[in-house]
């Protein structure tokens, strides 16, 4: 797997953003979500739990990606 060390910081930042989004979905009802969030509904008190799960999974994916990019370089390529 080719390492892209310059993507580590962006991946962590994006992961943190999605983590925050996940908690917003879990904690806030649809009426209190920012209007640009998918699922915003001014007349609803429903919590979009699934949207939160989706955002959380994306966050985990970003963190996992960043983690592997910080690992040792691909041994098969022979480069460091």
Partner 1 sequence: MEPITYLQAVILGILQGFTEPFPVSSLGHAVVLPRLFGWNIHQNDEFFLAFLVATHLATAIVLFLMFLEDWRRIGRGMVRSLRTRDISDADGRLGWLLVVGTIPAGLVGLLLEHPLRTLFASAATAAAFLVVNGVLLLIFERLRTRAPAPGDWTGDVDSRLSHLSWRQAFAVGTSQAAALIPGISRSGVTMGGGLMSGLSNDDAARYSFLLATPIIGAAAVLKLPDLLGHHGDGVRGQALVAALCAAAATYVAVRFLLRFFETQRLTWFGVYCIAFGGLASLVFALS
Chain residues binding partner 1 by CB under 8 A are 1, 38, 50-51, 53-54, 57-58, 61, 64, 67-68, 70-72, 74-76
Min dist CB 31 to partner 1, Å, is: 19
Nearer to partner 1, 29 or 71 (CB): 71
Instruction: Label residue 21 exposed, middle or buried (CB < 10 Å: 0-12, 13-18, 19+).
Output: buried
Q: How far is the CB of 72 from partner 1 (least distance, A)?
A: 6
Judged on CB neighbours under 10 Å (0-12, 13-18, 19+), 37 is middle
């Amino acid at each position: 797997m080719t390492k892209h060390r310059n993507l580590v910081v962006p991946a962590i930042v994006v992961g943190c953003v999605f983590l925050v989004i996940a908690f917003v979905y879990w904690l806030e009802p649809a009426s209190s979500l920012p209007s640009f969030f998918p699922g915003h509904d001014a007349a609803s008190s429903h919590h979009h739990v699934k949207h939160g799960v989706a955002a959380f999974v994306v966050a985990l994916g970003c963190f996992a990606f960043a983690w592997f990019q910080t690992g040792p370089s691909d041994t098969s390529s022979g480069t460091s």
